[in-house]
Chain A
Amino acid sequence: METPPVETSPRETSPIETSLEPTVKGPPPALKRPTGRLAGLLAAGPGLFWLTALLALPCLSLVAMALATRGQYGEVVWAFSLENLERLVGYSLFGWSPDILWILLRSVLVAAITTILCVAVSYPLTFHMATRSRSVRVFWLILIMVPFWTNVVVRTYGWLLILGPQLPPAKLAALLGLIPPGGALYPGSFAVYLGMTTTFLPFMALPLYASVERLDWETLEAARDLYASSFQVFLRVILPQTRPGLAVGVIMTFVPAMAMFVVTDILGGAKNMLIGNLIQQQFGQARDWPFGAALSLALMFLTLLSLALRKSKAPSGKGTFL
């Protein structure tokens, strides 16, 4: 925080101002509130401390860790090395392999599909909610919120039970010939994305609902009146007006979905490794904290990259013709 510089040069005054206040001379009276450097620091202090202690320092230590090496017994050896970053892009003792890059790509893909599914579910859901009476809306909000309060592992095991071979969903699927008789609906992509979508739905639906609720419904009618098809109404009227909520929802879904491994492991049968698994492995079984840190950095980089992409795509606000 800087103190505003005291004006020393004579203020430019319009003729009217001078004629109204002929007696005012010299610089304007100083503000009474203390505006010293110290006061500014005091005011910004808590926030600054928060950011330093809980964001900047951990990030720096992550970077430092990623540049260190693993000792023989899994301890961290503070010797500068780029080895972890090399491993990240696939170089190891055994030559180049795309394994890690595949894992990163797969994580991005899973997160992207989850986000798209959440958007696809959230639009009809929030439109349905916003057009109901107040009490019904509250009921729906509770329905969305309550599972959110349950631990994600417990919820995911719940899906295991529901999709199990004894219950109607699996029996119906078997009847339709989608799965072998007596089989379960897991492990597989269906179970994974069902679990992922239900896990992240509140993060998408709630911010989107806030936008949909504020939507000017008459503009939808105006669009129809102006020859727009249903698809055009969505694309050119609903989407732009709900963009703020959608953006928050996408960030809040995509970012944690990229690091998620619990749901994919339980419902996917731990067959396909995701970056979340890999990081957890490095800090757990492998006892390779430096490589875990490097992987975490990669995840963070991917997140920031996707956020930057979104930002560059957002409209500038300056009107372009047609």
Chain B
Amino acid sequence: MAVTKGEFFTLLGPSGCGKTTLLRLIAGLELPDSGSIFLGGQDVTNIPANKRQVNTVFQSYALFPHLNVTENIAFGLKARKVDLSLAKTKVERMLETLSLDGLGRRFPHQLSGGQKQRVALARALVNEPDVLLLDEPMSALDPHLRTQVQSELLDLHRKIDTTFIMVTHDQGEAMFMGGHLAVMKDGQMIQMGTPREVYSRPKNKFVAEFLWGANILPATRDGDMMITTLGPLKTADQVQWIQGHLAIRPELIVLGEGPNLGQGNYVKAKVIQTIYRGPSVELLLDPGPVKVVTSPRFNPQPGETVSLFIPPADLVALEDQAA
């Protein structure tokens, strides 16, 4: 796994997948049993945490309760014996950058969640690390604060020239940050790419389902044709297996008969359930069950038969073979 300098990289995965452990390995708080970690071309695998040019924003922020905001931020500078007046300037600039002006004399217990997070950010960034690690930085924030803080974090990343590596279990957050992301499971990196790549071309069932649940269709290859429960379908992908799985995003299935009629990949299905979501309508169809997300203009009733167009370009052949 490689992260480009200056990038906003996201490690995404369900809890317990080892993403935080990976972050701790990069920070040097844990040592790997095998493998190596390189930082700017230098092997840092055996360099202890306090000697790595890497700083972390901890999930619970881990602010020093006995130090005020200024002292918290100055901790790293002081530990490295940075000149006092220079340290003072740096801390003040950090307070300003993260709009913490006037809070310097407060203690952590006198701060709100959002302020604590900004102090944790300032405490890490004031050291001008090569890499900033963020361990689920939004998880301790109120949901309505999260979107705002996410934008602020992106702004901050744009302003300073530091590599950010963030861990999150929130797909939306990982997508929003825009840089490359890596999907992890059971300590393994499953897929890496831009949000668009990973979302639209999932590599296997796990990625397809973890990112807002794609429809997974078991299929058998018969020449160019994929025989599925929905009927014979074509895909634009190269298929390696005889028996395996295909994935199609619910919102990429086209409802109704359109100009593509006659080109194949048209199937008929019966509506089991219609869920009105407001901005969209969600249909559960038989056989399958296949999920379709479409414009709220449509309102098919349960029991009705609808026709679907499954664009071959959006039908992804997954790596998983049938058991």
The CA-CA distance from A227 to B124 in the complex, in Å, is 11
Q: Mark B53-87, 1 if CB is under 8 A from A, else 0.
A: 01110101011111110110011101110001001
What secondary structure prevails in chain A residues at the interface with B?
helix
Q: Assuming the A-B contacts A225-B55, A227-B127, A228-B75, are A218 and B88 also in contact, with contact meaning beta carbons closer than 8 angstroms in the complex? A: no
* The residue from A221, A226, A243, A319 contacting B79, defined by CB atoms under 8 A apart: A226
The CA-CA distance from A322 to B67 in the complex, in Å, is 10
**B297 interfacial contact with A, CB 8 Å:** no
Taking CB atoms and an 8 Å cut-off, the chain B residues in 13-50 that contact chain A are 27-29, 48-50
Q: Mark A228-239, 1 if CB is under 8 A from B, else 0.
A: 110010001100
Taking CB atoms and an 8 Å cut-off, the chain A residues in 114-158 that contact chain B are none
**A219 interfacial contact with B, CB 8 Å:** yes
* The residue from A225, A232, A237 contacting B27, defined by CB atoms under 8 A apart: A225
**B105 interfacial contact with A, CB 8 Å:** yes
The CA-CA distance from A225 to B24 in the complex, in Å, is 10
The CA-CA distance from A221 to B27 in the complex, in Å, is 10
Residue of chain A at shortest CB distance from B120: A222
B74 close to A321 (CB less than 8 A) = yes
**A223 interfacial contact with B, CB 8 Å:** yes
B51 close to A319 (CB less than 8 A) = no
A224 close to B68 (CB less than 8 A) = no
The CA-CA distance from A232 to B77 in the complex, in Å, is 13
**How many chain B residues touch A (Cβ–Cβ < 8 Å)?**
36
**B123 interfacial contact with A, CB 8 Å:** yes
Contacts of A229 in B (CB 8 A): 50, 79
* The residue from B54, B55, B84 contacting A322, defined by CB atoms under 8 A apart: B84
How close is A144's CB to chain B, nearest CB, in angstroms?
A: 27
The CA-CA distance from A223 to B84 in the complex, in Å, is 19
The CA-CA distance from A225 to B123 in the complex, in Å, is 11
**A240 interfacial contact with B, CB 8 Å:** yes
Contacts of B66 in A (CB 8 A): 240-241, 243
The CA-CA distance from A232 to B124 in the complex, in Å, is 17
**A216 interfacial contact with B, CB 8 Å:** yes
Residue of chain B at shortest CB distance from A233: B50
B56 close to A225 (CB less than 8 A) = yes
B74 close to A216 (CB less than 8 A) = no
Q: Assuming the A-B contacts A226-B75, A228-B50, are A219 and B62 also in contact, with contact meaning beta carbons closer than 8 angstroms in the complex? A: yes
A241 close to B65 (CB less than 8 A) = yes
* The residue from A218, A219, A237, A322 contacting B74, defined by CB atoms under 8 A apart: A322
Contacts of B68 in A (CB 8 A): 319
* The residue from A218, A219, A222, A321 contacting B70, defined by CB atoms under 8 A apart: A321
Known contacts A219-B63, A227-B79; 11 additional CB pairs below 8 A are: A216-B65, A222-B63, A224-B29, A225-B27, A225-B49, A225-B56, A228-B75, A240-B64, A319-B104, A322-B84, A322-B88
Closest 6 CB pairs of A and B: A226-B76, A319-B68, A218-B62, A222-B62, A240-B66, A227-B79
